[in-house]
Structure 1
Amino acid sequence: MPTKASPLPVTTSSSENSSFIYDYDYLDDLTVLVCRKDAVLSFGRIFLPVIYSLIFVLGLAGNLLLLVVLLRYVPRRRMIERYLLNLAISNLLFVATMPFWAISVVWQWVFGNFLCKVVSILYTINFYCGIFFITCMSLDKYLEIVRARPLRRPQRRFRSLLLIAVVWTTALAISVPEMVFVQAHQTLDGVWHCYADFGGHATIWKLYLRFQQNLLGFLLPLLAMIFFYSRIGCVLVRLRPPGQGRALRMATALVVAFFLLWFPYNLTLFLHSLLDLQVFGNCQLSHYLDYALQVTESLAFSHCCLTPMLYAFSSRRFRQYLKALLAAALRRHQDPDTAQALPPSYSESSGATAQEDVVSMNELGERQADDPIDKGDMGNSQA
């Protein structure tokens, strides 16, 4: 669940029964300290709704555009485009939860217990799916370019569908705590909040969920992307295909973008865990981490707006699809009879894409998938 303003402006060590993942409490020796968070809460009630609203608008527009292009102009989708399709669906479901959290921060949770559980589950599932599908796309390029094993179309289709099913199943399993513990709660002053009530084990659960986020949501995907793209880079340097330089720059940009979006957020979560474990901390540092958590979380959430476009526009094929969509939209008011038709040269230019110079990771993967001879040569060159 995203960072939310606590129902109480004061946190103490007695909040062990509180179930917020991001409780801001600590102990100094055996003395119970009180650390007021009025300024943090006031900042969150202004900053978070604005950011959540921007993420909702931009993420909805960008992912809907990606979804329309893939569904309308790609009847026979390749594996990379299947992953992009699922990424777009996942991001749409993720941004759909943003208005609920924005309203709950400004006011209170007014949507009832059922929607509290549903929205929390959707948030967690699609939070992880967005990261996992990005990792799947790097794995797909690795298998096509580095392994270069000639697979028949049914085999490639089965492999991609199996991996997609594994991603959704894994994300569903990760959301089990939300299914079990999340519900709407009313405070003594009559204000409703939606959060997971872990009873007397809140601190243990907080540490577990943060560790899970650090490991599954950042460290393992980052290491996988570094491994896959570094191996791809070695093959590109060895074989020197056309467009090698741009493909290497694209691979580097994808890894760097993932790191820049997710590292600050995961570092802040890790420091919060150290704070809960009493490794260090005081009230002032707790305030700083609270502010940092809200800012870095917002940066991480922007992945659903930026990442799909980064991957999509790295492909010349997708840019052709987008041009066709925009051209059809512009002609709609001029000639309704031809608004649904593709440009006359569209099919020819699309069919010629695989024969053009490789200019990105996607084009190189497409060329490898369509040319068994190149695959055999690449496999021999690695032997």
Structure 2
Amino acid sequence: MEETFTAFMSTTMDYSGDDYWDDDEEPILNSGMCNKTWVRAFRGRYEPPLYWIIFILGAVGNLLVVGIYSTVRNRLKTMTDVYLLNLAIADLLFLCMLPFWAVEATKGWDFGVRFCKMVSAIYKINFFSSMLLLTCISVDRYIAIVQVTKAQNLKKKRLFYSKLACLGVWFLSALLALPEFIFAGVKTDSKGHSTCSLVYWNNENNQTKILVLSLQICMGFCFPLLIMIFCYSVIIRTLLQARSFEKHKALRVIFAVVFVFILSQLPFNTMLIAQATQAANATSMQCDTVIAFDVAQQVSKGLAYTHACLNPFLYVFIGVRFRQDLLRIVKMCAGGLGKGGLNKIPAVHKRPSVMSETETTPALSL
């Protein structure tokens, strides 16, 4: 089972191929029985309030992003617009599952096996699609700023290519989430406490578990991270050779979004690497280490989930265009209510940008 890999992993884990389970589904290590009641109590206190905060903030923020694109901006004009809208939709789908996980943390999983598979897969699709969409944004920025000639030649086709790329991202994310559809299931201990987690079939020597974890780490973090590092390092070098300070200001939103996502996901993926290494070595762990590992998993998992609510607020507080669009919506709504009705928000037909349309800067300055 791959509890750290799922959004709602069980606090009881199979840390070693040689471990055995007592009547309470706790691992009995070489040092004796490991009582993890405190870990379960910690999870019940820690996860529900955090999940509800993320759900509320993330729902408001991402709905604002979708609302801005559907009202003020009226249509998607750049590749980055398409990617950011898809990113907001992916986060909204993920956030819809958080209330169920909050209930599971306190009362156990009572929603059935099929729903367990569905919420597991939705989380994984969101995780992969978010990383891949941020990768697409970095590649788009690389082409727009470094490969200016190519960007101008493909100007009319880039919006079509971006939509095609998004379809590819969703399809690939669904394929990478297949382990959730296949292995996710409900475990019930002798006390009737149920959890939704991955349970591998005939997992000899933890090979299936190691393979799934390796796929998660490589395709969901390392590979996209390498592409983003390459693209942005070249972009930085190009901007340092330019005299326009506005170009640096235009890039700060994308840098902030990528930085926050990496900062939130790095501890989570570090725990996945530790879990994969331990599964490959098939060695037992001391009880104190097991408990510390469990707590670290809970904390890193909660940190990883915050990315679903942070991106919209980065757009609002850092992005010039998003901040202007949000203020426009507020003013129009306030004016409409003051007149006894809600006026239709007119679309902005033209807005000055800090760079030329060839470089598709409006998406950079957001």
Aligned residue number for residue 103 of structure 2:
103
Residue 90 of structure 1 pairs with residue 95 of structure 2: no
Which of 165, 172, 175 is the aligned partner of 1:173?
Answer: 175
Conservation of the 8 A alpha-carbon contact between 2:186 and 2:197:
yes
- Corresponding residue for residue 9 of structure 2: 4
Q: Which amino acid in 1 is paired with 2:153?
A: L
Deviation at 1:206, TM superposition (A): 2.9
1:301 equivalent in structure 2:
305
1:40-72 Cα shifts (integer Å, max 9, x gaps): 111111111121111111111111111111111
Further displaced range: 183-192 or 50-59: 183-192
Please give the residue correspondences for 1:1-383 in structure 2 after superposition, counting only pairs within 5 Å: 1-6=6-11, 31=30, 33-77=32-76, 78-148=78-148, 149=150, 150-201=152-203, 203-247=206-250, 250=253, 252-276=255-279, 277-278=281-282, 281-311=285-315, 314-336=318-340, 339-342=343-346, 347=348, 351-354=350-353, 358=354, 364=355, 366=357, 368-369=359-360
In structure 2, relative to structure 1, the CA distance for the partners of 1:365 and 1:121 (3 Å cut) is farther
Distance in 1 (alpha carbons) for counterparts of 2:316 and 2:165: 20
Counterpart Cα distance in 2 of 1:56 and 1:108: 19
Per-residue CA deviations over 1:5-47 (Å, capped at 9, x if unaligned) read: 4479x98856689xxxxx99696xxx47432211111111111
Percent identical: 30
Tell which has more relative contact order, 1 or 2 (C-alpha 8 A, sep 6+).
2
Alpha-carbon spacing, 1:154–1:278, altered in 2? closer, same or farther (3 Å)? same
Take 1:227 and 1:365, find their aligned partners in 2: how far apart are those partners? 24
AA matched with 2:122: L
Q: What's 2:3 paired with? A: none
**1:298-357 per-position Cα deviation (integer Å, ceiling 9, x unaligned):** 111101111233256544222222121111221232124562143xxx84xx62422xxx
User: Tell me, which stretches of 5 or more residues in structure 1 are unaligned?
Assistant: 18-22, 359-363, 372-383
Mean CA deviation greater in 89-98 or 109-118? 109-118
Question: Given that residues 13 and 26 in structure 1 are in contact (C-alpha distance below 8 angstroms), is that contact kept between their aligned partners in structure 2?
Answer: no
Does the aligned pair in 2 maintain the 1:313–1:319 contact within 8 Å? yes
- Does structure 2 conserve the Cα–Cα contact (< 8 Å) formed by 1:183 and 1:196? yes
So what's the TM-score if we normalise by structure 1?
Answer: 0.81
Count of paired positions = 350
Unpaired runs of 5+ residues, structure 2, are 1-5
SS of aligned partner of 2:344: coil
CA contact (8 A) 1:144 1:365 kept: no
Cα deviations by residue, 1:194-248 (Å, 9 ceiling, x for unpaired): 2333133173333223222222222122221111111111111122224244346
- How far apart in 1 are the matches of 2:111 and 2:315? 35
Q: In 2, distance between residues paired with 1:341 and 1:180?
A: 46
Check the 8 A contact 1:145/1:365 in 2, yes or no.
Answer: no
Query: Matches of 2:182 and 2:306 in 1, distance apart?
Result: 28
Q: Distance in 2 between matches of 1:256 and 1:368?
A: 22
CA shift in 2, pair 1:73/1:322, >3 Å: same
CA–CA distance in structure 1, aligned partners of residues 254 and 124 of structure 2: 28
CA 311–219 in structure 1, closer or farther in 2 if over 3 Å, else same: farther
